[in-house]
Structure 1
């Protein structure tokens, strides 16, 4: 990729990392399109690249030994795929793939691992990001165990809203059912309730956020702790205004 100013990057991690750390990566950065279903991390396969998403939305999906799947996390312009590399794990169970098409910057794994191995500041920065992803996973487990489907749905919509531009979220009922681990009909019923409260408007293949505040009120304590921690440890709000 032609050398680009750090301020022209739309991925929050690459915009926030120190200039010295950015310089270690910039020469090997490559901008790429990320279509729907594009695989960022394959189950049990060591990735060739770290993907820093600039637009679109990736799903981190866990799959059981008998084939049951559920989404356990999101990654968008606030983050990057393949961060198990930071924990000295070359390959991991589960997949990460694009649920909403977009674009991003990829960096070869070897370049990235050399950068974090040779500089403590770079390593510590990306480990702080790993901390936020672990916290997101923990609160997804908390939400699934202790909160209603309506509260969980509001949380997931807010998480999508954090990572996508504008108020129109190009997500399907099938995607939402995967995120929540419930039947599509259950998602449809809960969306009708949110529409009745004038929080969202759902059309085929699109969900429009009408009132973020109403979604926050519905989600309650189900949403917010990982988002505040992201801002605390990385220095920027997760949702870019």
Structure 2
């Protein structure tokens, strides 16, 4: 049911039904690349479960994650802004399922229906806000606080308290080496916020984790809530 995706659920019923006829359901296994930099995107994806990681890659191959997308949004948002290419690499970080639509079909649909375009532009703004807060967090927050933020953001986008996050993905998320990830996990675990297993993080005290993250978390969540008039995740 495509209403599992909150962006699609925000559309008027007739718009959603029309769009549904153009979409196909897909599994989204971890590691699946959805788009690559400077490559024309064939499909746009709307997750119903799982997490898409948006990664910026330098010409030398250095990379860091700048945003995560779950059932609240879609990727790539470049199509909303009239571009056929996404400057970032997008890859499934936590497996799930969703729906995909050919980029040209979605572009035509957005162009022909102003109410749909308005909602999609709201999503593009919400995601841009998340990217901006990620840049701020990389600049002013400690690795421990940044890890707490990313764990909270991933927790917002899954059911339950178990997160399948590998050290490799965490190092990309934080733009640090794996030993720094291990140290940060030990700090959060030592404070009783999480329990860390191999490839899995279990949330033990969400409220305490939010308090520890302080102002690194919540800014883009409030912007999403404002734009979509819904409680923040």
Conservation of the 8 A alpha-carbon contact between 2:41 and 2:86: no
Conservation of the 8 A alpha-carbon contact between 2:82 and 2:107: no
Query: What aligned pairs does 1:54-73 form with structure 2 within 5 A after superposition?
Result: 54-73=48-67
1:178-218 CA-to-partner distances (Å, cap 9, x unmatched) read 10000111111111111111100000110000011111101
Give structure 1 stretches of 5+ with no counterpart.
none
Asked if residue 47 in structure 1 is aligned to residue 41 in structure 2, the reply is yes
Please list every run of at least 4 consecutive aligned residues from structure 1 whose deviation after the TM superposition is greater than 6 angstroms.
none
Conservation of the 8 A alpha-carbon contact between 2:137 and 2:216: yes
Choose from 89, 94, 98 the match for 1:95.
Answer: 89
Query: What aligned pairs does 1:17-28 form with structure 2 within 5 A after superposition?
Result: 17-28=11-22
Distance 2:214 2:113 in 1: 40
- Equivalent position of 2:156 in the other structure: 162
**Deviation at 1:16?**
1.6
Choose from 21, 27, 40 the match for 1:33.
Answer: 27
- Equivalent position of 2:208 in the other structure: 214
Distance 1:238 1:11 in 2: 15
SS in 2 for 1:87: coil
Q: How many residues align?
A: 233
Asked if residue 204 in structure 1 is aligned to residue 198 in structure 2, the reply is yes
SS in 1 for 2:50: strand
Distance 1:42 1:184 in 2: 24
Asked if residue 231 in structure 1 is aligned to residue 229 in structure 2, the reply is no
Query: What aligned pairs does 1:83-162 form with structure 2 within 5 A after superposition?
Result: 83-162=77-156
TM-score relative to the length of structure 1: 0.93
Conservation of the 8 A alpha-carbon contact between 2:170 and 2:181: yes
Distance 1:26 1:122 in 2: 13
How large is the Cα RMSD of the aligned pairs?
Answer: 1.2
TM-score relative to the length of structure 2: 0.96
**Deviation at 1:48?**
1.6
**Deviation at 1:93?**
2.2
**Deviation at 1:41?**
1.5
1:11-40 CA-to-partner distances (Å, cap 9, x unmatched) read 111112221321331111111111111111
- Equivalent position of 1:75 in the other structure: 69
SS in 2 for 1:202: strand
Distance 2:188 2:30 in 1: 26
1:106-144 CA-to-partner distances (Å, cap 9, x unmatched) read 112122111110111100100000000100000000000
